[in-house]
Structure 1
Amino acid sequence: MAIDSVSKRQPHDIAALDAAVIELRSGAERLKVLPLLDCCELVDACAAAVVQHADEWIRVSCEAKQIAVDRPVASEEILAGPGTLLRYLRLVAAAFRDLHQTGTRRLPGSLRTNSLGRLCVPILPVGSLYDRLIFQGLQAETWLQPHVDEASMFCDVWQTRRDRPARVAGVLGAGNVSAIPATDALHKIFYEFEAVLLKLNPVNEYLMPVFMKIFQPLIDADLLRIVRGDRELGTAMVQHDGIDTLHLTGSHLTHDAIVWGTDPQQRAQRQRDNSPLVTKTITSELGNVTPWVIVPGEYSRRQLKSQAEHLVASIVANASYNCVATKLIVTSRGWSQREEFLDLVDSLLADVPPRYAYYPGSRERFERAAGFMPSGDEESLPWTLIRDARPDRTPHLFEEESFVCVCAETQLDEAAPDRFLEQAVDFVNDRVFGTLCCTLTLPDAWRKQHRTQLERAIDRLRYGSVCLNQWSGIVYGLMTPAWGGHHSGTLAAPASGLGHVHNTFGLAGIDKTVLFGPLSSSPKPVWFPSHRTADRLGRSLIRFYEKAGPMRLPAIIYHALRG
């Protein structure tokens, strides 16, 4: 077993895992009674360390993915690494201070009840972080399940933690986005009050040194241990009697192997008998064939191009190694602008240089998804759009997350916007794998005139996040929304996963996040691949989140307008 840095002493043997769990159990006992202001001090100390070590984090991430650290594309590692984590830490500290001062959370707006009678909780824009300026035109709310009312809309873990047994969580980290293992671990510590043993994925275990520096306050408090090692170490964590809960980000195949075993026949029998190998509480985020639905209608050229660039941004970000990367565009066969839109997507993809294919197994997955093996450079893969894909011909494009830079387009028969939307909801619910997130592009006039029908469609979508005119990766990065698959997932059929992370307001009974945005965005969003100053804007956001205030806004505005 390869093992490294499981405790403050950094031993290198299997006994170290037992020692780390014992230390974490002690930390978990103290966490049960740790005052909220002391929690804030730990959060603030980690935030200060993020600022101090951000450059190192960005550098090692860019080196691993062969990205020039001084080019706009480096913004991906800036924003999906220290930028995202710093925003999260500021939101957590603010929530804890509100709880300490008032006993509740201060929401960024008023509650509303939608046309279906559901309670909708505003979660964006957050005033203290100047979201209305930084995320212009965007609003988000959490739709709660039917049984939840204003009296039961918040989790009670802060009030009940003293009465709960001390628990240690094992977190199996994602290998693609550097902030994921960090925020997953922090959610366990500060929102479920469990000490964490975090195992880094072998793909990004280069984060170990910088994470040890950033999270030293939590390590010193015996609330966190960070390990790196092989599959044997992961198995030992899963089976360890001292680890009470598990959280993993990865493939549903990994989830099923952990819970039900690797032998197909034995796995099927265990599922029939409801006899899982692991009885610990498991939460997870397991990927998605992410759909982008284009409701037919009349769009201006500006709107069409902006939506095409939003979609292309979702494909090329992180070389398409994202669960939120669009993998299926759903259009109407009778939409008059279909060819124009797809031509824009192809043209914009052609403008983006190929990226280093850093994730293991990429070429094999590309060949399966695209149907061919590219010639030439073996270190990169071409952006590929497959038009008019059909479930009966290429079912794997609808049923398997390729986790590679291939996106398919499929057509539905309905041409009228209202009937198409109903057909599209049924299609993505029933024919497309996953429940994590989806996007709807909607004509402005239709959206204004059919608000009730739109809310019914959003309600019927079995996704953890539904975005209007915007990429769902934004929901992940905002941190106030809960992030995870739809709550309909079960241990036997988890789809995109079980439970949620982020959710900095601590909402309970979550149905889904809904993100609202315009068809055309101005200034150009920092996540667009054509943004000319994205890296400098990303670094300005880190400096802003270090200490949010009006004096640090001019640099953000300057680089945003020059994009």
Structure 2
Amino acid sequence: MTADQAGLDLSIAALARGSEGWAATTLAARADLLASVAASVAAEAERWVLTAAHAKGLDQASPLIGEEWLTGPYGVLTSLTALQRTLRVLDAGHSPLAGRRLGRAPGGRVTVSVLPHNAWDGLLLHGFTAQAWLRPGVTAAQARSRAGLGQHVSGRAPSEDSGPRPDRGIGLVLGAGNISSIAPLDVLYELVAHNRVSILKLNPTFDGLLPVYRAALAPLIEAGLLCIVTGGADVGDYLAHHAGIGHVHITGSAATHDAIVFAGSKTDAPRLTKPITSELGGVSPIIVLPGRWSTRDLRYQAEHVATMRLHNGGYNCIAGQVLVLSATWPQKRVFLDAVAAALASAPARPAWYPGSDERMRAARAAYPVARSIPGGRLLVPAGASREAPQTGGVDSPEAWASAVPEDMLRTEYFAPVLGVVELPGTGLAFLDAAVETVNRDFLGTLGANILGVPSTIRRLGAGFEQAVARLRYGTIAINAWTGVGFLSAAAPWGAFPGHSLSDVQSGIGVVHNALLLDDVERTVVRGPFRPFPRSVVHGEWALLPKPPWFVSARRGALTARLLTEFAARPSVRRLPGILAAAFRA
């Protein structure tokens, strides 16, 4: 046994003692502990952001720093606040869904409103909503009684059981290396949803964040509920198969998942004999409904598409990768030109994620007629594979033919590559064809986006909602980006249910989910087609200006910092500054 392995063994033994202490901790004391964590996260927020930015080669003055505020300490703070509320509601003997509106979706599904989660969300994200759809057959009464997961015993009365269920031991969390809030959020969900204490192994990309994480999450570490380690694949493999670890959770690639689970071919028996949950990304479609769009509509939604592709440099598990367009949409060419312009005008940034250059070279080799966009971006038109007609160049009808670039649909490039697929039809016929295509041909089921003029969606009526119900994705965003679902603390986040170890696709299980909902099928996010004031013209009641997560937001960094400070210490007095910064963006 090496010294490193001996140290890991000692850490696991210490976590076993911490697990026993957690099992004896009351719900109120658990909520108080999360409040302490929130205070330490707030104290480390600026160092957290600057350290993450340094890991990604971002200048401290870059407007893109706003991404690090929102997807770093802001996301963790909002989750801590929401989880605290759930624990205190359960401690009072109520369901987390008490007083929360339940609705209905096609197929008789029960829906739970998860955004806005509180009154502050309603102000700061005005116009954005999200509902968690539960699996078909789950009743409203079952939804209420089962919400709470590891912190709640179904049907308990205060005289029977006023505490959480027994502890569930020690879990290994294999942290992501692209978004700095993911690993802490996974640790929190393991602890609260499943009563598992964690040993967190950082992705080497974020090894520099080790002292920040240890300071920000110090209350968990001091209570014996968390240990954070670094190391390569050998450390992760040792921990995953350690006898003291009862569960593994990974955020990463399907290849890494399969290397842990299987000794060789996936036809062999799994090498890993303990449960594993996962969030593994995929190829996210952006379905664009044909309609009559104004010039400003086209420009704004092109910036929206550029954000879906280029946020975090394109190194997101739910980065929009393929536009799905109607081949007969009269504004198709104008829209694609606007998308190319938006990709070109987005702030430049380093290709910081390991392997990005190799993936970009592979994409250029696979699609030799793709548009090279300034800033190291690539726009791959429909029919741009080697086998597609090459006559006339990228502006010819042949190059824009409605052939499907198969590699683009089955390869998550994890780089600034945006593909295009064109399908026949208009109206509901196009939407139905798009749903069938992405369900059948696209890799993964993590997130899908739909963009369309509100009047077009209204004309589609019940057919639109039925099409959404047929989309097999864990998060579906309508006139929004699925990243909004990721950042919404109460929204369940994960792949569409039903994957197996041998065909894991985008993963198994959910995280975030601060209401601790059981039987989740998906999350559906809805946003305004245009921000205020243009939202009013489209018949939408939405007061939010251009969202601060847009790559084209001029004051996104300031707005994101103010939002993080608000999440740490909510106050009406902070609202004017946030709104002023947002409108100047």
Per-residue deviation at 1:212?
Answer: 0.6
Aligned match of 2:443 in 421, 429, 433? 433
CA contact (8 A) 1:462 1:488 kept: no
1:158 pairs with 151, 155, 165, which one?
151
CA distance in 2, matches of 1:348, 1:269: 45
Alpha-carbon distance in structure 2 between the residues aligned to 1:134 and 1:83: 13
SS, match of residue 360 in structure 1? coil
Displacement of 1:242: 0.3
Equivalent residue for 1:515? Answer: 525
Q: Does the 8 A contact of 2:167 with 2:196 survive in 1?
A: no
* Equivalent in the alignment of 1:410: 421
| Shift in Å, 1:157 | 2.1
TM-score by structure 2 length?
Answer: 0.89
Match of 2:8 in 1: 17
Give the 3-state SS of the residue equivalent to 1:513 in structure 2: strand
Partner of residue 377, structure 1 = none
Q: CA deviation at 1:488?
A: 1.8
Alignment of 1:334-413 (within 5 A): 334-371=328-365, 382-389=376-383, 394-413=405-424
Aligned position for 2:315: 321
2:122 to 116, 132, 139: 132
Partners of 1:402 and 1:389 in 2: how far apart?
A: 18
In 2 relative to 1, CA 470–389 (structure 1 residues): closer, same or farther, beyond 3 Å?
farther
Amino acid at match of 2:550: F
The aligned runs of 1:222-241 (5 Å cut-off) are 222-241=224-243
Compared with structure 1, are the counterparts of its residues 30 and 547 closer, same or farther at alpha carbon in structure 2 (3 Å cutoff)? same
Post-superposition shift, 1:156? Answer: 3.7
**Segment of structure 1 superposing worse, 28-37 or 250-259:** 28-37
| Contact in 2 for aligned 1:107/1:122 (Cα 8 Å) | no
Match of 1:201 in 2: 203
Pairwise CA distance, 1:368: 1.1
SS of the aligned residue for 2:379 comes to strand
- In structure 1, what residue type is equivalent to 2:416? C
Q: Which moved more, 1:239-248 or 1:546-555?
A: 546-555
Q: Are 1:43 and 2:54 counterparts?
A: no
Structure 1 length-normalised TM: 0.92
Q: Residue 170 of structure 2 is aligned with which of 162, 168, 171?
A: 168
Matches of 1:29 and 1:150, distance apart in 2: 34
Find the residue that maps to 1:371 and give its secondary structure: helix
> Which residue in 1 is equivalent to 2:138?
148
SS of 1:491's partner is coil
1:24 aligns to what SS in structure 2? Answer: helix
For the 8 Å contact 2:22–2:167, the answer to whether it is kept is no
Amino acid at match of 2:576: P
- Deviation, 1:109, is 4.4
Once the 2 structures are TM-superposed, how far is the Cα of residue 390 of structure 1 from its aligned partner? 6.4
Matched letter for residue 96 of structure 2:
R
Give the share of equivalent positions with the same residue, in percent. Answer: 34
**Matched position secondary structure for 2:507:** coil
- Shift in Å, 1:108: 7.3
Residue pair 1:112, 1:119 contacting (<8 A) in 2 also:
yes
CA distance in 1, matches of 2:287, 2:61: 35
Instruction: Quote the Cα distance in structure 2 between the aligned partners of 1:166 and 1:432.
Output: 36
| Secondary structure of the corresponding residue to residue 327 of structure 1 | strand
Matching residue within 443, 456, 459 for 2:466: 456
Structure 2 Cα separation of the partners of residues 83 and 268 of structure 1: 39
Task: Name 1:8's counterpart in structure 2.
Answer: none
| In structure 2, C-alpha distance between the alignment counterparts of 1:389 and 1:101, rounded to whole Å | 59
Q: Which amino acid aligns with 2:267?
A: Q
Aligned pairs, how many?
A: 539
Residue 532 of structure 1 is matched in structure 2 by 554
Deviation at 1:107, TM superposition (A): 6.1
Change in Cα spacing, 1:155 to 1:284, as seen in structure 2 (3 Å) is: same
Deviations 1:143-191 (A, max 9, x none): 1111211122124422348654541000000000000011011110111
Determine if contact 1:137/1:517 at 8 Å carries over to the other structure: yes
The unaligned stretches of length 5 or more in structure 2 are 154-162, 369-373, 389-404, 533-544
Return the alpha-carbon distance in structure 1 between the equivalents of residues 28 and 469 of structure 2. 38
User: Over residues 123-154 of structure 1, what are the superposed CA-to-partner deviations in whole Å (9 max), with x where a residue is unaligned?
Assistant: 111234x1122112111101111121112212
Q: Deviations over 1:470-518 (max 9, x none)?
A: 1111110112111100002112111100000000011111111001112
Map of 1:183 onto structure 2: 185
Answer whether contact 2:427 2:460 (CA < 8 A) is retained. Answer: no
2:578 is matched with: 556
- The amino acid of 1:358's aligned partner reads W
Tell me the amino acid that sits aligned with residue 556 of structure 2.
Answer: A
Q: Say whether residues 1:56 and 2:47 are aligned partners.
A: yes
Distance 1:194 1:555 in 2: 40
Report deviation, 1:540: 0.7
Q: 1:35-85: per-residue Cα shift (whole Å, max 9, x none)? A: 111111111111111111111111111112121223321101111111111
Paired residue type of 1:443: V
Query: Aligned with 1:428: secondary structure?
Result: helix
What CA distance in whole angstroms lies between the structure 2 residues aligned with 1:465 and 1:167? 30
**Distance of 1:407 and 1:429 partners within structure 2:** 19
User: Does structure 1 residue 494 correspond to structure 2 residue 488?
Assistant: no
In structure 2, the partner of 1:96 is 87
Q: Give the AA of the match of 2:25.
A: L
* Aligned counterparts of 1:39 and 1:336: Cα–Cα separation in 2: 57
